[in-house]
Amino acid sequence: MIQHDVPLVRLNTFKLPCVAERYLALTDLRQLEGPEFKQAPELVLGGGSNMLLLDQVPGLTVHVSLGGVQLLTPVPVRKTSSSLDTGTLIVRVAAGVDWNQFVRYTLDQGWYGFENLILIPGTVGAAPVQNIGAYGAEIAERIEAVHVWEYGIGVRVLTPEECEFGYRDSRFKQEPGRFLITAVDFRLNGKHELKTGYGAIQTELACLKIDNPTPNDVALAVTNIRRSKLPDWFFLGNSGSFFKNPVVPMSVHNRLKTEYEDLPSYPINPGHVKLPAGWLIERAGLKGMRNEAVGTYEKQALVLVNHGSATGREVLNFSESVQAGVLTKFGVELEREVQVLGVSTV
């Protein structure tokens, strides 16, 4: 049933005041056959992370609340899948399932592959849109298929190739209003294939005095790292990383390296390098900066926070001042990772 003028302040991790003109909770796939899904709604809402909501969302907001986790047997492995063995598991997860709860569930079940992605806010359905990633892993590496409702067409199942995944990017992000994700099939393992090459993980494992880590040890290390650097949105509104780490030509990297010898960098290919946006923001003198109710987090400059009464417009304006500061200091443009949605009413 459609509701009108529904507050969304508790349904977005930034805790921004916003009102949905019309609101519908999607709890059953049969609802997709209704007239509301003949065309794309104004907003498809999952866990409310990775978005910046302005004062009002006109039109229809669909809150995807589909639940369920299913281990598929026999395993329907695609012919194009590689490096598969008897330890491979295919798990189908409904789009409304909380991502962090799902990761913890996989560890409890002995299904491995997502230990590096623990404690990321949001839902399973939103994860492929952003191709979420952290600490040397990203979700695209584990996706076997994405189940979608294509507006005007109906049910489809997309392969990873059809999803066109890139760094914090996907076809779903590039073609907004075309698909609604209903479930995702993940390829996990019944044996360990750990990714511990990321420096922060190695440091934390050493602090924990763990020489031969298990997936649960890696998950613990990542949890400790994230909690030490990132605010809990329940207490301090935020959307996690607000900006993407910029990828710049090698010539730009070399220019900056001559001036800043401690500049961290991560080669992408022979001609391009990824720079940490948090480092750039901090070195521009913007870490911990605050403008009334909006600021950069004191422990991680990449995160913008709502100190309690900020509006979406205030956060957006503040983010633009951060972008301008980095551009002036380094000549590097920062791109927002979050999506700006809705309209301002003032």
Q: What is the pLDDT of residues 278-322, one digit of tens each?
A: 999 999 999 999 999 999 999 999 999 999 999 999 999 999 999
The last residue of one of the domains, among 229, 245, 262, is 229
Residues 72 and 53 both lie in one domain: no
Residues 41 and 92 both lie in one domain: no
Domain count, the chain: 3
Q: Give the CA distances from residue 84 to residues 35, 47, 143, 158, in Å, rounded to whole numbers and listed in that order.
A: 42, 32, 13, 20
**pLDDT for the residue 284:** 97
Q: Give the residue, 266 or 125, on which the prediction is more confident.
A: 125
Residues 91 and 222 both lie in one domain: yes
In whole angstroms, give the CA distance from residue 231 to residue 159: 35
In whole angstroms, give the CA distance from residue 109 to residue 107: 5
For the cut 50, the answer to whether the pLDDT of residue 86 exceeds it is no
Report residue 1's pLDDT band, with 50, 70 and 90 as the boundaries. Answer: confident
Residues 90 and 131 both lie in one domain: yes
Report residue 71's pLDDT band, with 50, 70 and 90 as the boundaries. Answer: very high
SS3 at position 155: strand
Assess if residue 346 is contained within a domain: no
- Give the CB-side neighbour count of residue 98, counting CA atoms within 13 A: 8
CATH code, 141: 3.30.465.10
Residues 72 and 220 both lie in one domain: yes
Residues of the chain by 3-state class (helix, strand, coil), percent to 5: 30, 30, 40
**pLDDT for the residue 346:** 75
Give the pair of three-digit tokens for residue 226: 């994230």
The last residue of one of the domains, among 203, 229, 255, is 229
For the cut 80, the answer to whether the pLDDT of residue 55 exceeds it is yes
- Do 291 and 255 contact (CB within 8 A), yes or no? no
Is 241 marked active-site?
Answer: yes
Is 144 marked active-site?
Answer: no
> Average per-residue pLDDT in the chain?
93
Q: Which range marks the domain in which residue 42 is found? A: 3-64
Residue range 128-140, pLDDT digits in tens: 999 999 998 999 9
CATH code, 283: 3.90.78.10
Residues 213 and 72 both lie in one domain: yes
For the cut 70, the answer to whether the pLDDT of residue 79 exceeds it is no
In whole angstroms, give the CA distance from residue 9 to residue 242: 18
SS3 at position 267: strand
What contacts 261, CB < 8 A, 6 or more positions away?
Answer: none
CATH code, 28: 3.30.43.10
Assess if residue 141 is contained within a domain: yes
**pLDDT for the residue 220:** 97
Assess if residue 260 is contained within a domain: yes
Give the count of beta carbons closer than 10 Å to the beta carbon of residue 79.
4
Closest CA to 59 of 130, 6, 123: 6
- Do 63 and 48 contact (CB within 8 A), yes or no? no
Residues 34 and 175 both lie in one domain: no
Residues 112 and 213 both lie in one domain: yes
Instruction: Pinpoint the alpha helices (H) of the chain.
Output: 99-109, 127-130, 160-163, 171-174, 199-207, 215-229, 250-259, 277-283, 312-330
In whole angstroms, give the CA distance from residue 277 to residue 301: 8
Residues 219 and 267 both lie in one domain: no
- Do 14 and 52 contact (CB within 8 A), yes or no? yes
Residues 200 and 274 both lie in one domain: no
**pLDDT for the residue 85:** 46
Residues 205 and 92 both lie in one domain: yes
Q: Give the CA distances from residue 34 to residues 26, 38, 154, 303, in Å, rounded to whole numbers and listed in that order.
A: 11, 7, 11, 39
Assess if residue 47 is contained within a domain: yes
Assess if residue 12 is contained within a domain: yes
The last residue of one of the domains, among 229, 246, 266, is 229
Residue range 195-204, pLDDT digits in tens: 998 888 999 9
For the cut 70, the answer to whether the pLDDT of residue 84 exceeds it is no
Give the pair of three-digit tokens for residue 315: 């956060």
Residues 197 and 106 both lie in one domain: yes
Give the pair of three-digit tokens for residue 133: 């990633």
Closest CA to 68 of 199, 182, 188: 182
**pLDDT for the residue 262:** 95
Which of 49, 241, 313, 319 is catalytic? The answer is: 241
| R_g (Cα) of the chain, nearest Å | 21
Backbone angles phi, psi at 63, to 5 degrees: -95, 110
Beta bridge partner(s), residue 26: 64
Which of 168, 171, 313, 336 is catalytic? The answer is: 168
Is 168 marked active-site?
Answer: yes
Give the pair of three-digit tokens for residue 322: 């951060």
For the cut 90, the answer to whether the pLDDT of residue 146 exceeds it is yes
